[in-house]
Structure 1
Amino acid sequence: MEISASGRLVVRITAADVGKRVSVRALVEHAAPGEKFTDTVGVLTSWDSGVLVITRKDGESVRIPESVLVAGKIVPAAPARRRGPSASYEELARVAARAWRPVESERLGEWELRAAGGFTRRANSVLPLGDPGLPLDEALTVVRRWYSDRGLPAYIQTATGAEGTQELLCAELERRGWVREVSAELWIGALAPAADAGDASVVALSRTADEAWLARYQRKGVSEVALKVLGGGSPRSSEAESGGGPSVWFATVPGAEPGAAPAAIGRCVVDGRWASFAAVEVDPGQRRRGLATDVMAALARQALDEGASAAWLQVEEDNAGARALYERLGFAAHHAYHHYREPGSAGAVRGNAGVGRYRSP
C-alpha cells in the first residue's frame, strides 16, 4: 500500500486512472476481529457516483465505495513470467483463434465475427481485438443482428488478467446487461517437457478425426459443421494456396478390446512456434494410467518435428485433474477468458470445446 512520509496510508489514485491496474485497501464494515481491511488488485474499470469498480485477474468485478478507501496506488501491468515462453495476450488470442476456426467469419473493424452453426462458443463468438470502427453501442447492434440472421445468440469472447486484456470491455458489457456465461484459463508452457513426459509409442496419429476418434469425443452426433471446425475450419485462401496454414493432428490410444472406443484421444494444432492441445479425453475406466500424458507426448513430439517450441491449452477453472497434469508438465496460467451472451437470449451453442476435458491423471 502507498504510505506517506508521515507513515500514514494514502490514496494515490483518482477517476483519471480508469483503465490502469491498481491495488487498493478498504475498510470492511462489520468485520470480524483481525479483519479490518480488505485488499483488491485489478484493473480500475470505473469510478462513478462515489463507487470504484475493480476487475480482478479472474474477471470478477468488485465494487468499493469511495468512502471506505484507505489506500490505493497504480501497480505494474503484469508481473514478469519466471519460466516458460513469453507471449502477449494478442499473440495468444490470434493463434488460439487460428486453432479453432469457424466456417464463416466477417470483419467489423478490427473485430472478427465468427459462426459455425452453434458448435462451441469459441467458434460462434466475436473476437474483439482492437477497434470495431463504430461506437460501442452501434457495434453491439451490428453484432446482435449478425448472429440473429444466423439463428444464434450473440456472444463476445473477452480476456482478463494480462497486459492488453479487456477488463474495460468486460465492464462495459456488464453495464449493458450482457451475461458472463463461461470462464476458463489459457495456460502456456515449453513444449519439450510434454514431449519427454510420456510413452508416445502407444499413440497413433492421424490428420483426420476418424470414426474411432469421434467415438471417444465427448460431443456425440458430430455434424458436418463440427467436423470442419475440428479439421481446421475454413482457412483463408492465401493460407491454403501457400500451404502456410496451421496443421492439425489427432491422437488415438486404441481401446482394450477390438472394436471398442479408444482408451484416450487428443487434438493438436501446430502453428509456427506454437502447438495447442485440446480434446484430451480418457475412458473413465482407463484413468490414472498416464494415458493423457502419453497422448500429449505423442502430439508434442510431432509439433517439435514441425518446428514448434511452445505450447498453449485452455482449461476450465474447476477441472482439477487437468490442472494437476498440466502443472506437472510445466504449464502455468497466462490469462482468463470469458464468453459474454447478449441480454435477453437463451444460449444455443453447444459446449466450449477445446477447454481441456481431461479429468484425472
Structure 2
Amino acid sequence: MEFSAAGRLEVRITAADVGKRVSVRRLSEPGVTEGKFTDTLGVLTSWDAGVLVITRKSGESVRIDETSLVAGKVVPAAPARRRGPAASYEELARVSSRAWRPVESERLGQWELRAASGFTRRANSVLPLGDPGLPLDAALDAVRRWYGERGLPAYVQTATGAEGTQELLGAELERRGWVREVTAELWTGALAPVADRVAAEDVAGVALAREADEAWLARYQRKGVSEVALKVLGSGPSVWFASVPGDEGAAPAAVGRCVVDGRWAGFAAVEVDPEQRRRGLATVVMAALAGRALQEGASAAWLQVETDNVGARALYEALGFAPHHAYHHYREPGAGAP
C-alpha cells in the first residue's frame, strides 16, 4: 500500500487508471474505521458512479464502493514466471488457435470469427486480438448476426492474467449481459524434460500417426465424432496422433494429440482407459509426442486444462508445466449452450 510522508495510507488511483494493474485496500464492513481490511489485486476494469470493478487473474470481478477505499496504488505488471519458456499472450493465442482450426472463419478488423458446426467452443468463438474496426456494440451486433446465420450461439473468447485489454473486454461483455462459461488455463513448459521423462523402451510401444484412425477415435472422449470434428482434429501445421495399444480387439489404452508449430508443441486430447489409469500411460503418450516434436525443431510446449481437472493439473505440474494465463468463453445474452 502507499503511505504518505506522514506515514498514513493514501488512495493514489483515479478513474484515469482504468486498464492498469492496481492494488487496493478497503474496509470490509461499512462504518468500520480501523481493522477488518480487505486487499484486492487485479486490473481496474471500470470506475463508474462511485463503484470500482477490479478483475483478478482468476477472472473474478470484484465491485468496490469508492467510499470504502483506504489505500490504493498502480502496481507494475506481474513478474515473469520462473518456469517455462517466455511468451506473450498474443503469441500463445495465435499458436493455440492454429492448432485447433475452425472449418470457417472471417475477419472483423483484428477479430477472427470462427465456426465449426458447434464442435467445441474454441472452434466456434471469436478470437479478439485487437481492434474490431467498429465500436464495441456494433462489433458485437455483427458477431451475433454472423453466428446466427450459422445457427450457432455467439461466443467471445477472452483471457485474464494476460497483457493488453483482455480483462477490459471481459468486463464490458459482462456489463452487457454476456454469460461467462467454462474457464480453463493455458500452461507452458520446456519440451525436452517431457520427452526425457520416460525410458526409450517404453516410448517404443507408442504408435504415432498423421491421422486419427477408428481405434484412436474409439478412445477419444467425444463420442460420435463428425466429419467436421475430424477436420478440426486434423488441423494444424504438423499434427501427430499417439496411441498405446489396448487388449486385443479393444480401444487403445491411451491416446493423445500434438501439434508442432515452430518452437511450440501443443498437447491435447490425452485420454486414458479408466481401468488403466495410474500406470503412467498419459506420461508415456506425452513423452512419445514430445520426442517427435523435438525432432521437428520444437523446444517449448503448451497445453490447455480446465480449472476443475485436478488429476490432469497434478500430472502437468509434475511434468514441469505452469499456468501462463486463464481464458474464458462468453456466450451472448439469451442464447442456450450448444
| Paired position in structure 2 for 1:252 | 243
| Paired position in structure 1 for 2:146 | 146
State whether residues 77 and 162 of structure 1, in contact with CA within 8 Å, keep that contact through their aligned partners in structure 2.
no
| Paired position in structure 1 for 2:57 | 57
State whether residues 19 and 165 of structure 2, in contact with CA within 8 Å, keep that contact through their aligned partners in structure 1.
no
Residue 339 (1) aligns with residue 333 (2) = no
Taking every aligned residue pair, what percent have the same amino acid on both sides? 83
RMSD: 1.4
State whether residues 89 and 165 of structure 1, in contact with CA within 8 Å, keep that contact through their aligned partners in structure 2.
no
Residue 281 (1) aligns with residue 271 (2) = yes
| Paired position in structure 1 for 2:228 | 225
1: CA distance, partners of 2:193 / 2:314: 15
SS state at 1:93 partner: helix
2: CA distance, partners of 1:31 / 1:251: 61
The alignment's TM-score, normalised by the length of structure 2, stands at: 0.97
2: CA distance, partners of 1:178 / 1:317: 21
SS state at 2:196 partner: helix
| Paired position in structure 2 for 1:301 | 291
State whether residues 13 and 72 of structure 2, in contact with CA within 8 Å, keep that contact through their aligned partners in structure 1.
yes
| Paired position in structure 2 for 1:242 | none
2: CA distance, partners of 1:288 / 1:91: 34
State whether residues 107 and 113 of structure 1, in contact with CA within 8 Å, keep that contact through their aligned partners in structure 2.
yes
1:246 positional shift = 1.0
2: CA distance, partners of 1:48 / 1:251: 52
- Superposed, 1:87-126 pairs within 5 Å as 87-126=87-126
Deviation digits for residues 143-189 of structure 1, max 9, x if unmatched?
A: 00000000000000011112225000001100100000111000000
| Paired position in structure 2 for 1:236 | none
SS state at 1:322 partner: helix
SS state at 1:281 partner: strand
1:78 positional shift = 2.0
Q: CA 1:282 to 1:30, structure 2 compared with 1: closer, same or farther past 3 Å?
A: farther
SS state at 1:339 partner: strand
Q: CA 1:193 to 1:66, structure 2 compared with 1: closer, same or farther past 3 Å?
A: same
Q: CA 1:266 to 1:15, structure 2 compared with 1: closer, same or farther past 3 Å?
A: same
1:231 positional shift = 0.3
- Which consecutive residues of structure 1, in runs of 5 or more, have no partner in the other structure? 233-244, 349-361
| Paired position in structure 2 for 1:207 | 210
Deviation digits for residues 264-317 of structure 1, max 9, x if unmatched?
A: 000000000000000001111000000000000000000000000000000011
SS state at 1:288 partner: coil
- Superposed, 1:1-361 pairs within 5 Å as 1-29=1-29, 36-164=36-164, 166-198=166-198, 199-232=202-235, 246-255=237-246, 257-348=247-338
1:36 positional shift = 0.4
Runs of 4+ in structure 1 off by over 4 angstroms are none
- Which of 193-202 and 90-99 deviates more? 193-202
1:31 positional shift = 11
2: CA distance, partners of 1:162 / 1:140: 22
1: CA distance, partners of 2:58 / 2:90: 18
Counterpart AA for 1:133: G
The alignment's TM-score, normalised by the length of structure 1, stands at: 0.91
Counterpart AA for 1:254: P
- Paired residues in the alignment total 334
| Paired position in structure 2 for 1:357 | none
SS state at 2:123 partner: helix
State whether residues 188 and 333 of structure 1, in contact with CA within 8 Å, keep that contact through their aligned partners in structure 2.
yes
Counterpart AA for 2:55: T
Q: CA 1:30 to 1:202, structure 2 compared with 1: closer, same or farther past 3 Å?
A: farther
2: CA distance, partners of 1:89 / 1:31: 42
State whether residues 159 and 165 of structure 1, in contact with CA within 8 Å, keep that contact through their aligned partners in structure 2.
no
